[in-house]
Structure 1
Amino acid sequence: MNARYQILTIATLLALGGCANTGGQSSFLNSFVPQSAGKPTVIEALNGGIVDPAITAQLSAEDRIKALEAEYRALEIAPSGQIVAWSSTQSGVSGEVYAAQPYEVGSQNCRQYVHKIMRNGETTTARGTACRSEDGNWTPLV
């Protein structure tokens, strides 16, 4: 899929998603899951995200995927400051991610973002920045 088609698709989805916004959290944002076409997924490109690996190591594989998907949705399609929530009914772990306004560094689009994970009554907050590479994947800056 070429970059122009991806941008057009995302712009269309954002426009449609904005029409259905009821003032609360958009169900569109929470239903969007990136798809892989036999290549490394966009989720893998996040390299584990911005949350401390010592914390994510304590999460189930399913919860780690949900957390990374929320990071991707916040970076890729969420308006600035809009929370993208995720939760696990089995483990009771939940989280929320929100990204700041995009900005450019050279030819790359970048966004600062925050990811909060709530687990066993404790909240862990991670802050970071990710930039979109030429292949369209978001990569956290270290």
Structure 2
Amino acid sequence: MRYLVVLTLAAMLLAGCTTQKHTVGGAALGGIGGGVIGSQIGKGTGQTAAIIGGTLLGAALGGYVGSYMDRMDEMDRRNMNQTLETKPTGTTSQWHNPDTQTAYAVTPTETYQRDDGRYCREYTTEVQIGGETEKAYGTACRRDDGAWEIIN
């Protein structure tokens, strides 16, 4: 579940809009993840209760993380884009957002050009919220306008 939360947080880091779409998307992803985890617990009605509980808890947690990202400072998006655009593979970029009390560490791990000509980078993201550090992996590709977007 923690991995799902961090993956959601990392994916939302590059988003350019500040609408409520992250709250909804985070809740959806969290609910799916919670339901999957709940399906691995118990049997019969106990398993059903675990699925329902996991889905509700995952949706609440994912929605919280998503709403947090909806309020993300423009500084965080700029730092993420700058990291993917300028940092050599294996070089970590770190920053702390004093408004949200969140610390980020982003490390590009591979750079390549796709068959369609787009440049892409795989990366790891470590996010520290409330003293807890979580890690996620992702891939972003450069758009025609120079901004980076998450593709998975």
TM-score with structure 1 setting the length: 0.55
CA–CA separation in structure 2 for the residues paired with 1:97 and 1:78: 10
2:92 maps to which of 59, 62, 83: 83
Aligned length: 96
CA–CA separation in structure 2 for the residues paired with 1:65 and 1:99: 20
Distance 1:118 1:56, change over 3 A: farther
**Which has a greater percent of helix?**
2
CA–CA separation in structure 2 for the residues paired with 1:103 and 1:89: 34
Map of 1:113 onto structure 2: 123
Contact 1:70 1:96 in 2 (8 A): no
- The 3-state SS of whatever aligns with 2:91 is coil
Counting aligned pairs with the same residue, the percent is: 23
Map of 2:137 onto structure 1: 127
TM-score with structure 2 setting the length: 0.52
CA-to-aligned-CA distance 1:31-84 (integer Å, 9 cap, x gap):
xxxxxxxxxxx8628xx99xx8432523583x4433322221121011111111
Map of 1:98 onto structure 2: 107
Stretches (4+) displaced over 4 A? none
Higher RCO (C-alpha 8 Å, min separation 6): 2
Alignment RMSD (CA, Å): 2.9
Q: From the CA coordinates, give the structure whose radius of gyration is larger.
A: 2
CA–CA separation in structure 2 for the residues paired with 1:64 and 1:75: 18
Q: Which runs of 5+ in 1 are unaligned?
A: 1-41
- The 3-state SS of whatever aligns with 2:83 is helix
CA–CA separation in structure 2 for the residues paired with 1:73 and 1:64: 15
- The 3-state SS of whatever aligns with 2:113 is strand
